[in-house]
């Protein structure tokens, strides 16, 4: 997601750099809205080379594979209005294959180098970029055969080289689309069966958009395998949990869940190493790759299998046949451009072609990255030994790349020599560097407009900010921006209190969330209108007030954990400081993972207070339980609102759950599987449970209540546990403590809870819960009596047996009740009509 910043400020700072008149080029991280760019492009279908003039309409975002823009074409070639799908005045997607983030670029390049022992080829090798684009053309045509339309795969029109960013790129179709809606579904049990391929009740099966996307991506992966695009398929493997955003739904098919799905991303960002799976699905993919003889995976495909597919559908591919030959040429160059010891190991010892291609591609890559200038590139081309020497130098971490740039780029070299010989030029260079750094920090949201201009004018201010630049963006701003510091403190401590007492502010708060939700496609306009119309209703105000209390409790745990940690550190002066602070940090960490925290306790007690004050359990029956649990408790009131205000509940649950998920790198991406999984876990599954409980309650009304069965059930359970005690006695000669036979405790608790609940017949739910608790207590009593019988001759252990018996009564009472409730929710279903 792009960060808001001032384009005008960036332009001012760019002008400052230009005014410094440095010999080196400015280092661009990315472009701004409104920038006009000129490229020499090469079309995909007919390989026509021409100039193009375009304008950045929007920076969409960036990841490991590169940065994406929405662009508008202003001019093509010598006044042409159209060229192979490109048309003046229309919007397109442009992807430059270099990440906007320095860390992402570093991490991506390290992973790629470990796999292939060379630079990231999609960025620096036009043949690699071109091969991927041609593969996409063939995949698009195959999609027409399988799905009936090429529109299920995004079209690609041209490749290019961006000399400013030092990377290859491509221009493709712009898709007005979204990821997926978080669909309300109270039949998750049916969806679970559908996922497993079992027979389902079609009349109640929900989540149509989720199901359509899952089916499409599965069939698309199958298609890619049929084509030989095994490693392209990794971009759409459901099990990776991060592939879902690569498939969008066209906005024009909003009301048709099964239509409008389109695959949009075919450029992998990270290589898949055999020892470094980055998702659950990667483990399986690594195994499949090994069976194909591919130890390291990225974007390799089988040309021979593609040819077989084309041969079987010659008529459909007739106009693309010239591309097949170009693909073979580019694939050959691409695969021979890096050592890639897992594929080229033996060839490295004898293949002149491999070494010639590696050296040639290295020269081109250095030129594209602006490491070498044109003159030196020509010099390398004529001098094999110099080219080979530089190729060896490139393997030196960090220094290798710097050495190539210093020796191979005349202007860069002159720039540093002049810095050493001219005080005036050195000062100009410092001003240019300050302006560059200020632009990067401002685009990232670390500094505001005034700070950016101040830093560009002051070395001291730059040095003061430099250590904070190592921190996350929010902390950098918090410690260096006085206004942001005050705003955050107000937001954390004052705003929640004002929200509690100010009804108008609460309404504005909700309206702001609605607007944000619309932007993120989390709710429809109809849902938004419905929610607006309900704003003045008393229950809405009550729920919003309760949500304000939830917000108030957000800092409670953090403040409490820090205070307790500090108290511990300062009350243990005799302890080494490193050890004391280490324990203090551990205390803070512990508070982050415990299920019930000071904040959640305050929240839960507030909901309990409302229940008692208003004598109303029905309208708080979910929130009163969930409120006590950390993280989950923030969804208590959205879930509680479900049936009275379904539109608002749907939005609030999605908003709170998914915002928490988005903190997680990669897997927490908007539209990824984790987002949907969390929404289902905290929203749809509680709805499903409520529905099932109602159905079970209606079914039980037709049955006769039963209570007497708890006696035989508890006796039989105690006898089973008694046998375990007996065998433990025979083996060790000691009284069995629960931690020694924990597995038997859990198993017998489950059996007791299950059979007590299952055999209760038409007994009301409240009484069934009491029955399982009583049955568990009886198990504890009976098992203690049986154990006492076994050990009656061992007087010294009688006291130990009595203590153990008390614990058994307590533990069986709790666990039998828990397993009884699980049986109610998961195992018991009314007979299907």
pLDDT for 148-176, tens place per residue? Answer: 999 999 999 999 999 999 999 999 999 99
| Residue 671 in domain | no
pLDDT at position 421? 92
- How far is residue 220's CA from residue 146's CA, in Å, rounded to a whole number? 9
pLDDT at position 758? 83
pLDDT for 737-757, tens place per residue? Answer: 777 888 888 888 888 888 888
**Is the model's pLDDT at 403 over the cut of 70?**
yes
| Residue 468 in domain | no
Distance of CA 825 to the CA centre of its chain: 30
Say which residues have a Cβ less than 8 Å from residue 35's Cβ, sequence separation at least 6. Answer: 55, 56
pLDDT for 272-330, tens place per residue? Answer: 999 999 888 899 999 999 999 899 999 999 999 999 999 999 999 999 999 999 999 99
Average confidence (pLDDT) over 762-770? 80
pLDDT for 182-217, tens place per residue? Answer: 787 888 888 988 999 899 888 889 889 999 999 999
Residue 520's pLDDT band, with cuts at 50, 70 and 90, is low
Residues 133 and 217 both lie in one domain:
no
**Is the model's pLDDT at 818 over the cut of 60?**
yes
- How far is residue 594's CA from residue 680's CA, in Å, rounded to a whole number? 23
**Is the model's pLDDT at 687 over the cut of 90?**
no
- How far is residue 720's CA from residue 714's CA, in Å, rounded to a whole number? 10
pTM over cut 0.85: no
60 φψ region: left (φ > 0), alpha (ψ -120 to 50), beta (else): alpha
Alpha helices, H only, 520-553 = 525-533, 538-552
Angle between helices 646-661 and 525-533 (to 10 degrees): 120
Alpha helices, H only, 68-207 = 102-116, 121-124, 126-147, 188-195
Residue whose tokens read 């130098």: 393
pLDDT for 547-566, tens place per residue? Answer: 777 777 777 887 888 888 88
263 φψ region: left (φ > 0), alpha (ψ -120 to 50), beta (else): beta
Side-by-side strand order, sheet with 177-178: 177-178, 247-250, 261-263
Residue 521's pLDDT band, with cuts at 50, 70 and 90, is low
Residues 59 and 90 both lie in one domain:
yes
**Is the model's pLDDT at 619 over the cut of 90?**
no
Average confidence (pLDDT) over 752-778? 85
Q: Output the average pLDDT for the chain.
A: 86
- How far is residue 628's CA from residue 635's CA, in Å, rounded to a whole number? 11
**Is the model's pLDDT at 667 over the cut of 80?**
no
Tokens standing for 808? 């058994």
Residues 636 and 740 both lie in one domain:
no
Point out the least confidently predicted range of 378-382, 461-465, 586-590: 586-590
Q: How many residues does the chain have?
A: 833
Of 206-210, 583-587, 724-728, give the range with the top mean pLDDT.
Answer: 206-210
In sequence order, the β-bridge partners of residue 41 are: 50, 160
**Is the model's pLDDT at 355 over the cut of 90?**
yes
Of 159-173, 186-200, 610-624, 687-701, give the range with the top mean pLDDT.
Answer: 159-173
In sequence order, the β-bridge partners of residue 168 are: 161
Average confidence (pLDDT) over 100-123? 94
| Residue 672 in domain | no
pLDDT for 500-514, tens place per residue? Answer: 788 888 888 888 888
Residue 102's pLDDT band, with cuts at 50, 70 and 90, is confident
Average confidence (pLDDT) over 642-664? 68
**Is the model's pLDDT at 666 over the cut of 70?**
no
Residue 812's pLDDT band, with cuts at 50, 70 and 90, is confident
Q: Count Cβ atoms below 10 Å from residue 329 Cβ, excluding itself.
A: 12
pLDDT at position 256? 86
Average confidence (pLDDT) over 46-69? 93
Examine the fold and report which residue of 639, 661, 683 is the final residue of a domain before the chain moves on: 661
Examine the fold and report which residue of 661, 677, 711 is the final residue of a domain before the chain moves on: 661
Residues 17 and 148 both lie in one domain:
yes
Q: Count Cβ atoms below 10 Å from residue 205 Cβ, excluding itself.
A: 15
Sort strands 91-96 and 167-173 into parallel, antiparallel or unpaired: antiparallel
Residues 647 and 519 both lie in one domain:
yes
Examine the fold and report which residue of 122, 151, 173 is the final residue of a domain before the chain moves on: 173
Of 400-404, 530-534, 631-635, 792-796, give the range with the top mean pLDDT.
Answer: 400-404
Residues 618 and 728 both lie in one domain:
no
| Cα angle 742, 748, 752; round to 5 | 145
Burial class of residue 568 (count of CB atoms within 10 Å of its CB; 0-12, 13-18, 19+) = middle
Handedness of CA 286, 292, 297, 301 (dihedral sign): negative
- How far is residue 724's CA from residue 3's CA, in Å, rounded to a whole number? 63
**Is the model's pLDDT at 803 over the cut of 80?**
no
Average confidence (pLDDT) over 131-146? 95
| Residue 425 in domain | no
Q: Which residue has the higher pLDDT, 130 or 241?
A: 130
Sort strands 156-162 and 36-43 into parallel, antiparallel or unpaired: antiparallel
Q: Which of helix, strand or coil describes residue 267? A: coil
pLDDT at position 409? 92
Phi, psi angles (nearest 5°) of residue 38: -125, 130
Residue 731's pLDDT band, with cuts at 50, 70 and 90, is confident
Residues 655 and 511 both lie in one domain:
yes
Count how many domains the chain has.
5
| Residue 251 in domain | yes
Say which residues have a Cβ less than 8 Å from residue 91's Cβ, sequence separation at least 6. Answer: 57, 70, 71, 72, 174
**Is the model's pLDDT at 266 over the cut of 60?**
yes
Point out the least confidently predicted range of 71-75, 434-438, 639-643, 770-774: 639-643
Q: Which residue has the higher pLDDT, 780 or 96?
A: 96
Residues 159 and 221 both lie in one domain:
no
pLDDT at position 824? 75
**Is the model's pLDDT at 338 over the cut of 60?**
yes
Q: Which of helix, strand or coil describes residue 631? A: coil
Point out the least confidently predicted range of 199-203, 604-608, 667-671, 676-680: 667-671
| Residue 421 in domain | no
Residues 143 and 257 both lie in one domain:
no
| Residue 109 in domain | yes
Cα Rg of the chain (Å, integer): 33
Range of the structural domain that residue 277 is part of = 179-322+331-342
For 225, 229, 309, 451, 529, the CA distances from 302, given in Å and listed in that order, are 9, 6, 11, 53, 52
**Residue among 514, 510, 534 at smallest CA distance from 525:** 514
Average confidence (pLDDT) over 513-537? 74
Tokens standing for 80? 């042409």
- Percentage of the chain with pLDDT > 70? 92
**Is the model's pLDDT at 735 over the cut of 90?**
no
| Residue 111 in domain | yes
pLDDT at position 827? 62
CATH number at residue 143: 3.30.200
Helix then strand then coil, % of the chain, to nearest 5: 65, 10, 30
**Is the model's pLDDT at 400 over the cut of 60?**
yes
Residues 226 and 239 both lie in one domain:
yes
Average confidence (pLDDT) over 389-403? 92
- How far is residue 775's CA from residue 761's CA, in Å, rounded to a whole number? 15
In sequence order, the β-bridge partners of residue 43 are: 158
Average confidence (pLDDT) over 1-20? 86
Residue whose tokens read 């908007």: 670
Of 111-120, 631-640, 702-711, give the range with the top mean pLDDT.
Answer: 111-120
Residues 155 and 188 both lie in one domain:
no
Residues 785 and 730 both lie in one domain:
yes
**Residue among 68, 229, 39, 58 at smallest CA distance from 126:** 39
């Amino acid at each position: 997601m792009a960060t808001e910043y001032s384009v005008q400020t960036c332009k001012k700072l760019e002008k400052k750099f230009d005014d410094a008149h440095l010999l080196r080029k400015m280092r661009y991280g990315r472009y701004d809205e409104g920038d006009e760019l000129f490229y020499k492009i090469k079309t995909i279908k007919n390989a026509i080379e021409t100039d193009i003039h375009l304008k950045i309409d929007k920076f969409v975002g960036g990841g490991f594979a590169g940065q994406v823009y929405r662009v508008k074409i202003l001019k093509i070639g010598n006044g042409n209005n159209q060229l192979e799908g490109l048309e003046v005045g229309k919007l397109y997607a442009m992807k430059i294959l270099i990440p906007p983030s320095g860390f992402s670029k570093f991490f991506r390049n390290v992973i790629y180098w470990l796999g292939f022992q060379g630079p990231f080829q999609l960025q620096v090798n036009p043949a690699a970029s071109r091969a991927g684009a041609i593969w996409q053309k063939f995949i698009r045509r195959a999609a027409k055969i399988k799905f009936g339309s090429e529109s299920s795969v995004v079209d690609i029109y041209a490749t290019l080289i961006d000399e400013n960013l030092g990377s290859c790129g491509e221009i493709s179709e712009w898709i007005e689309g979204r990821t997926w809606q978080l669909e309300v579904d109270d039949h998750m049990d049916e969806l679970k069966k559908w996922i497993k391929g079992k027979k389902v009740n079609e009349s109640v099966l929900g989540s149509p958009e989720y199901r359509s996307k899952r089916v499409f991506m599965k069939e698309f992966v199958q298609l890619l395998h049929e084509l030989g695009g095994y490693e392209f398929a990794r971009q759409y493997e459901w099990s990776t949990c991060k592939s879902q955003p690569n498939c969008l739904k066209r906005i024009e098919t909003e009301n048709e869940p099964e239509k409008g799905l389109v695959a949009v991303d075919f450029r992998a960002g990270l290589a898949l190493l055999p020892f470094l799976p980055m998702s659950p699905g990667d483990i399986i993919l690594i195994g499949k790759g090994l069976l194909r003889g591919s130890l390291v995976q990225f974007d390799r495909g089988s040309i021979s299998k593609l040819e077989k597919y084309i041969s079987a559908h010659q008529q459909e591919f007739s106009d693309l046949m010239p591309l097949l030959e170009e693909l073979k040429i580019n694939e050959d160059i691409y695969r021979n451009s890096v050592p890639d010891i897992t594929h080229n190991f033996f060839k490295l010892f004898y293949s002149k072609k491999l070494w010639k291609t590696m050296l040639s591609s290295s020269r081109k890559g250095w030129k594209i990255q602006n490491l070498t200038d044109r003159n030196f590139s020509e010099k390398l081309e004529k001098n094999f030994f110099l080219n080979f020497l530089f190729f060896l130098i490139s393997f030196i971490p960090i220094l290798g790349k710097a050495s190539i740039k210093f020796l191979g780029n005349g202007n860069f070299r002159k720039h540093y020599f002049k810095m050493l010989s001219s005080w005036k030029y050195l000062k100009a260079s410092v001003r240019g560097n300050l302006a560059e750094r200020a632009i990067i920090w401002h685009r990232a949201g670390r500094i505001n407009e005034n700070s950016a201009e101040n830093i560009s004018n002051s070395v001291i201010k730059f040095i003061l900010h430099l250590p904070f630049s190592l921190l996350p963006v929010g902390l950098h701003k918090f410690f260096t921006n006085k206004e942001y510091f005050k705003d955050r403190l107000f937001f954390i401590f004052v705003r929640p209190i004002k929200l509690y007492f100010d009804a108008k502010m609460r309404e504005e708060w909700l309206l702001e969330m609605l607007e944000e939700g619309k932007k993120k496609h989390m709710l429809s306009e109809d849902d938004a209108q419905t929610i607006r119309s309900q704003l003045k209703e008393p229950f809405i105000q009550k729920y919003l007030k309760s949500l304000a209390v939830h917000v108030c409790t957000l800092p409670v745990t953090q403040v409490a954990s820090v205070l307790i940690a500090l108290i511990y550190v300062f009350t243990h002066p005799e302890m080494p400081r490193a050890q004391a602070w280490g324990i203090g940090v551990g205390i803070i960490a512990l508070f982050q993972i415990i299920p019930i925290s000071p904040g959640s306790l305050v929240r839960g007690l507030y909901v309990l207070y409302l229940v008692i004050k208003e004598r109303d359990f029905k309208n708080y029956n979910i929130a009163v339980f969930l409120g006590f649990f950390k993280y989950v408790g923030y969804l208590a009131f959205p879930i509680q609102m479900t049936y009275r205000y379904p539109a608002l509940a749907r939005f609030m649950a999605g908003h709170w759950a998914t915002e928490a998920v988005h903190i997680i790198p990669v897997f927490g991406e908007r539209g990824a599987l984790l987002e949907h999984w969390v929404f289902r876990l905290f929203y749809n599954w509680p709805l499903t449970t409520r529905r099932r409980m109602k159905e079970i309650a209606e079914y039980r009304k037709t049955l006769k209540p039963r209570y007497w069965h708890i006696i035989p059930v508890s006796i039989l359970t105690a006898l089973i546990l008694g046998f375990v005690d007996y065998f433990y006695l025979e083996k060790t000669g000691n009284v069995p403590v629960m931690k020694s036979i924990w597995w038997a405790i859990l198993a017998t608790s489950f059996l007791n809870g299950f059979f007590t609940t299952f055999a209760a017949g038409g007994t009301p739910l409240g009484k069934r819960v009491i029955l399982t608790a009583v049955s568990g207590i009886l198990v504890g009593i009976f098992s203690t009596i049986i154990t006492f019988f076994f050990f009656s001759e061992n007087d010294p252990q009688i006291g130990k047996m009595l203590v153990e018996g008390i614990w058994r009564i307590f533990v069986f009472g709790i666990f039998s009740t828990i397993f009884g409730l699980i049986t109610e929710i998961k195992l018991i279903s009314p007979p299907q009509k």
